[in-house]
Amino acid sequence: MDLSGDVSGVKNLNLAYRGRFAPSPTGKLHLGSLFTAVASYLRAKSRNGQWLLRIDDLDGTRARSESIDSILIDLEKMGLCWDESVYYQSQHLQDYERALNILRQRENIYPCICSRSDIQNLSTDGLKYPGTCRTKNISSSELQALRIQVPNVTIRFKDLLHGHFEQNLSLDIGDFVLRRRDGFYAYQLAVVVDDRLQHITEVVRGSDLLDNTPRQIWLQQLLGYTTPDYLHIPLLMKNNKNKISKSTSETLLDLNSPRQLAIKILRLLNQPISADLEEGTLEEIWREATLHFDINRLPQSPITIPS
Ligand SMILES: [Zn+2]
C-alpha cells in the first residue's frame, strides 16, 4: 500500500466513520480494556461507522497467542462484533520500515545508545531526552535505538472530550524513539502507520495517551497522512490510584454474565440506562446504548472503581 501522500479513494472513505480498538495481547481482557472497547464500539456504531480490531502484537516477546485468542473470544462473548478482518501489527513490519525510510530522507534520525537510567540521570525532569547522542559517533555494532530530532514547534489539536491541547515537541518531549533498542518499532511510529492503513477517521483511546498525540500528529504531517479526530476517554483507576492495566481479582471479567457487565460499563461511561434496558438481551442493550450514546456525558476525570 502507498504510504506517501493520499491514496485515491481516501476522500470517499473519510465520509464514513472508521474507529478501532487496539488491545495489547499481554494478558486477558480486563475491566480497563473492556471499558475502552465499549466506548470505541458505541462511538463508532452511534456514527453508523465501522469498528475495527487491531492487535498490538508488535512486541513479540510480550505478545502471546493465547492472549490474542482469549481477547477475541471475550469480545465475542460480550457481543462486540468487529468489522473486517483483524489487523495484526506483526504483519505490517515492512510498512513501518517504509515509513521510517521516508522519515529518514527528510529528518534527522540518529542512533541512541542511552539506557533508561542514563536518560533519567541526564534529563532535567527525568523524562525528556536531552539529545545526548545527536552528535555522537556510534558504531553500528552497539545496541541502539533510533530517535528523530524534533523541531521547536508547538502542535495543537482539539480533543473531542478534553478540548484544546498543545505541546511543544522540543520543550515538552525531546527527540523521541521510532525504533527501540530491542529492534521493535516504537508505538509512536506504528500507531500512525496503522491508523493510516486502516483509514481510521477517529481514534478513541485512554487519556493516558493524550500527551502522545502531538508526536503522532507531527509524524502524520511529515508523512503526508490525514490526521484523524481524537477522543481520549477517562482512565479507570483502582483505589490505589493506579491505572487498571491488567487482570487482577478486582478487574477480572465475569463473562458468564455479559449483560450485567455491559450495564456496569455503561454506568462507568455515565450513559443513560433505562429500567427496560437492564432487563434486555445483550443485543438490545448495545442497540439502545448505541442509539443514546452521548460523548458529552462522558466523565473527563479518571474514574475510580469500587473495590
Ligand atoms: Zn542517547
pLDDT score recorded for residue 208 = 93
Q: How far away, in angstroms, is 144 Cα from ligand 1 center? A: 8
pLDDT of residue 217: 98
Q: Which regions of the chain are under pLDDT 70?
A: 1-15, 61-63, 123-126, 240-241, 245-251, 307
| Ligand 1 center–CA 95 separation, angstroms | 26
Query: Could you tell me if residue 5 is inside a domain?
Result: no
Using one digit for the tens of pLDDT, what is the confidence trace for 94-103? 999 999 999 9
- pLDDT given at position 165: 98
Taking the centre of ligand 1 as the mean of its atom positions, its distance from the CA of residue 256, in whole angstroms, is 49
Give a yes or no: residue 60 inside a domain: yes
Residue 179: what pLDDT?
96
To the nearest whole number, what is the mean pLDDT of the chain?
A: 89
CATH number of domain containing 210: 3.40.50.620
Give me the pLDDT at residue 63, please.
Answer: 65
Ligand 1 centroid vs 114 CA: distance in angstroms? 4
Question: For 287, phi and psi rounded to 5 degrees?
Answer: -65, -50
Calpha distance 226→220 (Å, rounded): 7
Whether residue 1 is contained in a domain is answered as: no
* pLDDT tens digits along 120-134: 777 666 578 889 999
Give distance in angstroms: CA of 97 to centre of ligand 1.
21
pTM: 0.90
- Distance (angstroms) between ligand 1 centre and the Cα of 113 equals 5
Q: How far away, in angstroms, is 152 Cα from ligand 1 center?
A: 19
Q: How far is CA 49 from CA 43, 158, 262, 291, in A?
A: 8, 21, 20, 13
| Sequential DSSP letters for the chain | ---SSPPTTHHHHHHS-EEEE----SS---HHHHHHHHHHHHHHHHTT-EEEEEE----TTT--HHHHHHHHHHHHHTT-PPSSSPEEGGG-HHHHHHHHHHHHHHS-EEEE---HHHHHHHSSSSSSB--TTTT----TTS--EEEEPPPS-EEEEEETTTEEEEEEIIIIIBSEEEE-TTSPBPHHHHHHHHHHHTT-SEEEEEGGGGGGHHHHHHHHHHHTPPPPEEEEEPPEE-TTS-B--S--TTT---TT-HHHHHHHHHHHTT----HHHHHS-HHHHHHHHHHH--GGGS-SS-EEPP-
Whether 186 contacts 142, CB under 8 Å: no
The whole-angstrom separation of Cα 63 and Cα 54 is 13
Number of domain units in the chain? 1
How close is the Cα of 126 to the center of ligand 1, in Å? Answer: 14
> 133 CA to middle of ligand 1, Å?
4
Q: Would 39 be classed as within a structural domain?
A: yes
Please tell me the distance between residue 191's alpha carbon and the centre of ligand 1 in angstroms: 23
What's the confidence (pLDDT) of residue 180?
Answer: 94
> How far does the centroid of ligand 1 lie from the alpha carbon of residue 59, in Å?
22
* 205: in domain: yes
One-letter identity of residue 78: M
Q: 152: buried, middle or exposed (CB in 10 Å: 19+, 13-18, 0-12)? A: exposed
Distance 192 CA to ligand 1 centre (A): 23
Look up the domain containing 257 and give its range.
Answer: 10-304
- How far away, in angstroms, is 18 Cα from ligand 1 center? 38
Residue 267 Cα to ligand 1 middle (Å):
46
pLDDT, tens only, 11-32: 444 469 999 999 988 888 999 9
